Amino acid sequence: MLLTEPFFYTISLFYRLLAKLGNGAMAGVTGVSIIFPLDMVKTRLQNQKPINGKLPYSGGIDCFRQIVRTEGVKGLYRGLVPNLAGVTPEKAIKLAVNDIMRGVLAEKAGTSIDRLPVMYGALAGATAGLCQVIATNPMEIVKIQMQVSATQQVASSGAGSQVTAMGIVRQLGLRGLYKGTACTLLRDVPFSFIFFPLQALFAQKMHQRIYGNDGKPSTLSVLAGSTVAGIVAAAAVTPADVVKTRLQSSSQPVPAYDGLVDCAKRIMKSEGPMAFFKGTVPRCLTTAPLFGIALMMYDMQQKILGW
């Protein structure tokens, strides 16, 4: 009996992990499909460079209108398929690892997951952010290059419309798919470090205000808490996201950026400090509802399926 108990415990833990990975994947796909047009606008704004002394887009609304006018509605969804292919493991890893780490740390602290100290929650989130980059970086670089490909058409040759996800993968190779990994880590680890403890805190506080008790946060509280936490975390790491977008874009200046530090220095020198916050509003409008919807879907699945 003593020999079989660890075996069955390991099997149970394995199935729980699979269930959480499945929940995270479905939650991520749902969220990304809804907010992808905003992500397209965010990427175009961050990647735009002056043409004859003038930026192509005057803001988020102007960018949205120009994409629809020149590329049609389908232009707003350029790169969605490879993004979904990347989001499935990315959100699965992030949400599942955070959930499992919170459980482990709560057990170590002798408390419940819902009452985990903020620093333990931050540690769990940072671990999740670190683990997810293995899936995030290839997905992000393919998505960015597809999203900016249409802006590289000098004439109406249609070359940008021929860019495909598999073509980019073949062109970049395995090493190229992990270009800008350091910057992705600088964005995703701090984001998760900030987001997950704030999400848990805000969800609990909102539940207390709405229902007047300290019970498990309701689905509505999870949605609201995740959205607010997403705004704070997304705004905080926007500078890293701007540098990452520039590094991973196929539209490079001459000479090309020589790494993270060189890219940051050149942005500061040529465009000033405010350039690091380009696309902050679209990023917040993209990331906050994405994580709000994803965490809400994840929480609903957990409650319905008992995982």
The predicted-structure confidence for 82-126, as pLDDT tens digits, reads as follows: 778 777 788 888 888 898 889 889 988 888 887 888 899 999 999
User: Percent of the chain at pLDDT above 90?
Assistant: 20
Most confidently modeled of 14-28, 65-79, 156-170? 65-79
Query: What pLDDT does 11 receive?
Result: 63
Mean pLDDT of the chain: 82
CA angle 163, 164, 166 (to 5 degrees): 140
Query: What pLDDT does 268 receive?
Result: 92
* Average pLDDT of the residues in 253-273: 87
pLDDT band per the 50, 70, 90 thresholds, residue 226: very high
pLDDT band per the 50, 70, 90 thresholds, residue 138: confident
CA angle 15, 289, 192 (to 5 degrees): 60
Instruction: Tell me the CA distances in angstroms from 215 to 162, 202, 207, 211, one per residue in order.
Output: 53, 14, 8, 9
* Average pLDDT of the residues in 117-142: 87
Query: What pLDDT does 190 receive?
Result: 93
Q: Which tens digit of pLDDT belongs to each residue from 280-292? A: 887 888 888 888 9
* Burial of 44 per CB tally in 10 Å (0-12, 13-18, 19+): buried
Query: What pLDDT does 154 receive?
Result: 38
Query: What pLDDT does 152 receive?
Result: 57
Rounded CA-CA distance 246/271 in Å is: 13
Instruction: Tell me the CA distances in angstroms from 100 to 12, 93, 127, 151, 224, one per residue in order.
Output: 13, 10, 10, 42, 22
pLDDT for residue 133 is more than 70: yes
Query: What pLDDT does 120 receive?
Result: 92
pLDDT for residue 3 is more than 50: no
Q: Which amino acid is at 209?
A: R
pLDDT for residue 159 is more than 60: no
Query: What pLDDT does 112 receive?
Result: 83
pLDDT for residue 225 is more than 80: yes
Better-scored residue on pLDDT, 249 or 151: 249
Asked if 280 and 235 touch (Cβ cutoff 8 Å), the reply is yes
Better-scored residue on pLDDT, 260 or 147: 260
pLDDT for residue 4 is more than 90: no
